[in-house]
Structure 1
Amino acid sequence: MKKPIAYIGIFCTIALAAFNCKVDSEEQSTTTTPVVIPNAAGYKAVLAFPKLSFSDPVDFTHANDGTNRLFVVEQKGIIRVFENNATTDKSPVFLDIDAKVASGGEMGLLGLTFHPDFKKNGYFFVNYTRDSPRRQTVVSRFKANGQIADPNSETILFTFDQPYSNHNGGQVAFGADGFLYVSTGDGGSGGDPQNNAQNRKNLLGKMLRVDVNSIEKGNYGIPKDNPYVGNTDGFREEIYAYGLRNPWRFSFDSVTKNLWTGDVGQNKVEEIDVVTKGGNYGWRIKEANNCYDASGDCNKADLIAPVWSYEQGDNGRSVTGGIVYRGKKLPEFNGKYICGDYVSGKIWALTYDGKTVTKSDLITNVSTVSTFGEDANGELYICDYSAGKIYSLAKK
């Protein structure tokens, strides 16, 4: 039976408890209490498409092609497409690669993004896991023919092995620079036993950036200003940033171009990061602002602290990265980062001035927040994994 995606990156199920639910009593807590402002009362989650239901939705996006279409990724290996209309009652299959995908737990079809020139070339990109010939992450390009995609059009950009089944990251998205960004987890188990996130000779525990319009490495190229281009240390040139545990969802602010991600914690702290080129975000030396690996130097000046973090507990146990709101329906949220927690269902609005964050509590009535997304107008949507429903925020 397929395991739920509960506790993205933590997975306190019986089968995986030995990997991810141990408590390290020797961790030294240095976490500071975030600034909190009063509850932003007056909001609720409402069904955006009441007549539609999805099977384990894990990603939500649009093609930016001038149509009114929206796309939802189902973890088992199916992408569905539908009209951005509250009365729509049909969500036909856009792509079915169920036979290629190894799903269950934290594995599956995990990410979708469309080429900036999709309207002309029909290209889109996905991130999924497979177990043949061995357990791997696959980043691929497919091509759409009219209203649906051709499942036989796959061109694999690259793959990398996954030592365990959890911590797969999975997001793919294009930046304003036209390059494809890919988030990867540390390879799984608990505590990053292979220290992958700090090892720049592999692709695990990283934010990657590649040029899909180049073929210098077969089916992709390396942006010339990636931090390790031409290095002689064996560091992977695809790396944009490193030291991440499981950056399950990330997004770009369409105005500032900042790259935001939620990075799922181990046993104590969840974190939100603004990712910069060449940055080291600390894992497994640190879990957010907490010392984690006693053999590492927690005071290293080059470790970048999260912009916001929260202790596991009432707030939740598995952060789901969100988006910076730039829509028009809720102008009071303009420029605020909307994120949440998969376990608690809580959703927050973060106000970031470039140095500090203030938090507003918004709602708690979405049971399992697996991902956030936006339509072509910048309006916000929330996927509820267990209910299979899509919500939007509204005033009460």
Structure 2
Amino acid sequence: MISNINVFSLRFAYFLFLILFSCSFQNKETSNHSSKGSGAAAVSYSISLKEIASGLEAPVGLTYADDGTGRLFVIEQTGTIRIIRNGQLLDAPFLNISDRLDGLGNGYSEKGLLGLAFHPDYPTNGKFYVYYSAPTSAKGMDHKSVIAEYTASSNVDKAGLDERIILEIQEPESNHNGGQLCFGPDGYLYIGVGDGGSAGDKHGSIGNGQNINTLLGKILRIDINTTSGYTNPPDNPFVNKNGNDEIFAVGLRNPWRFSFDRKTGELFCADVGQNEYEEVDIIEKGKNYGWRIMEATHCYNPSTNCNTSGLTLPIDEYDHSIGISIIGGFVYRGAETEDMNGRYIFGDWNGKIFMLLQPAGSKNWERRSMTIKNASDDLHINSFGEDANGNLYVLAQNSIGVKKAGKVYQIVFE
């Protein structure tokens, strides 16, 4: 199964596998599912997937260094970063830290190498950052999430192995690890952290997502431009107040991929739901996105009459008749297809790809299903990626497990 993002815990992985392979589903549909109350019209949108690379082990992320080389960097969950140069997957990895990971096994796992972000000044300083799951000796903890800095070597296709630890977060369970790293327009590093795992965020009296004294279940924002560790931006919402200074936003369950709109600077985030609903949020400083009080726009704990005051609702949600586990994507700002400009492209682990659009003058977002013309019934989407020109990519594999071969596809809008 796809790594890191499945809404269900490990005990459901095999069950989901059977469901998905027993259905002829998803990406061939032409019906459109509107956001709640949007009244979206039934309009068909088509794409095709152009294979760029194959033979990857659980590809869970793709990004670029913005250094003029056009290279794509692919995160393999098993601990390596691979380079695609001029359409060719290089044999030698850019970075291999598989020996630093907590054990993954050969089946379903939400641990591993999960995130990669290049410093905005990478062409001059060679710095980049990774998010991975490492063993821990802390009592009662399953592992720790590590955010670390590495530096390129004199060989542009091979990074140095010297590591500077930026941040470590103890994880009580094996799942809901988040893993997204992204530099914002403000130059700060944004970090997506899950709620600590298990089911229902049963951590303390209010859960980790609502606890402002833990980094779990949050979007963090830090300044890594220091000689050691990091500092916190002075305008983070809990600086000089009760709560952790690193926190930018609270109330997340398992944010699996977020990205900034290149034009507007808005931060779009997909948050994986519990048992019923998946959601897309626009993340803003100091906002509370509801988990575990709410799952999307629905009361979760308590299941009825929950107090929604002070909570920010998602711009889109869908239930599990449509998908299983949401995969965050990107607002399209490429030059190839003007009609798609400004539309948020995202998907679900079950192989569906969606688009969100906001009609002129409206505050609501409308969701459309996108027909994949060359769809495969065993396409399971792990992540999306973007290159320097704004082209979008799908990272996928055809079965459960971190050792299974995966592929990278470029999205071609019809």
Q: TM-score scaled by structure 2?
A: 0.85
Pairs within 5 Å for 1:211-360: 211-214=223-226, 218-231=228-241, 233=242, 235-294=243-302, 298-313=306-321, 315-342=322-349, 344-352=350-358, 355-360=363-368
Deviation at 1:172, TM superposition (A): 0.2
Q: Distance in 1 between matches of 2:65 and 2:294?
A: 37
Residue 119 of structure 2, aligned match among 115, 121, 124: 115
Q: Is the 8 A contact 2:258 2:269 kept in 1?
A: yes
Aligned match of 1:82:
84
Provide the rounded CA distance (Å) in 2 between the counterparts of 1:39 and 1:102. Answer: 46
Cα deviation for residue 12 of structure 1 reads 5.6
Alignment of 1:1-396 (within 5 A): 5=3, 8-11=6-9, 13-14=11-12, 32=36, 35-49=39-53, 52-85=54-87, 88-102=88-102, 104=104, 105-134=109-138, 135-145=143-153, 146-194=155-203, 195-214=207-226, 218-231=228-241, 233=242, 235-294=243-302, 298-313=306-321, 315-342=322-349, 344-352=350-358, 355-364=363-372, 365=375, 367-386=379-398, 388-395=406-413
1:119 match: secondary structure: helix
Contact persistence 1:76–1:103 (CA under 8 A): no
Query: For the residues of structure 2 that align with 1:107 and 1:72, how far apart are their CA atoms?
Result: 17
8 Å CA contact retained: 1:264, 1:319? yes
Shift of 1:43: 2.1
Q: 1:25 maps to what in 2? A: none
Pairwise CA distance, 1:112: 0.2
**Deviation per residue, 1:76-110 (Å, 9 max, x gap):** 1100012143xx25343000000001253100000
> 1:16, CA displacement in angstroms?
9.4
The alpha-carbon distance between structure 1 residues 37 and 295, as it changes in their structure 2 partners (threshold 3 A), is: closer
- Partners of 2:383 and 2:394 within 8 A in 1: yes
The higher-RCO structure (CA 8 Å, 6+ apart) is 2
Whichever residue aligns with residue 93 of structure 2, its letter is V
Cα distance between partner residues in 2 of 1:219 and 1:316: 39
Give the Cα–Cα distance (whole angstroms) in 2 for the partners of residues 203 and 223 of structure 1: 16
**CA deviation after TM superposition for structure 1 residue 35, in Å:** 3.7
CA–CA distance in structure 2, aligned partners of residues 164 and 179 of structure 1: 28
**Relative to 1, partners in 2 of residues 1:295 and 1:393: Cα closer, same or farther, differing over 3 Å?**
closer
Code of the aligned partner of 1:334:
N
**1:276 & 1:33 partners in 2: Cα distance?**
23
Contact 1:143 1:153 in 2 (8 A): yes
Percent of aligned positions that are identical: 41
Is the Cα–Cα contact under 8 Å of residues 83 and 93 in structure 2 kept in the other structure? yes
Structure 2 segments unaligned to the other structure (5+ residues): 16-34, 399-404
> What is the aligned-residue RMSD (CA, Å)?
2.1
Displacement of 1:288 in angstroms is: 0.3
Q: Conserved in 2, the CA contact under 8 Å of 1:337 and 1:350?
A: yes
Q: Which amino acid aligns with 1:80?
A: R
Q: Is the 8 A contact 1:180 1:212 kept in 2?
A: yes
- Using structure 1 for the length normalisation, give the TM-score: 0.88
Q: State the Cα deviation string for residues 268-300 of structure 1 (Å, max 9, x = none).
A: 100000000000000000000010001897343
Deviations 1:338-371 (A, max 9, x none): 00001x2100111035721112211353611111
Which moves more between the two structures, 347-356 or 235-244? 347-356
Residues 395/378 of structure 1: CA separation in 2 closer, same or farther (3 Å cut): closer
The alignment of Structure 1 onto Structure 2 pairs a total of residues equal to 371
- Taking a change above 3 Å as real, the CA distance of residues 168 and 327 of structure 1, as seen in their structure-2 partners, is same
Superposed displacement of residue 160, structure 1 = 1.0
Question: Residue 245 of structure 1: SS of its match in structure 2?
Answer: coil
Could you tell me which amino acid in structure 2 is paired with residue 154 of structure 1?
E
Q: Which residue of 2 aligns with 1:21?
A: none
What displacement does 1:213 show?
0.7
Separation in 2, partners of 1:330, 1:255:
16
State whether residues 82 and 91 of structure 1, in contact with CA within 8 Å, keep that contact through their aligned partners in structure 2.
no
1:329 Cα deviation (Å)? 1.7
More displaced 10-residue stretch of structure 1: 144-153 or 115-124: 144-153
158-167 or 6-15, which deviates more: 6-15
Helix, strand or coil: the match of 2:229? coil
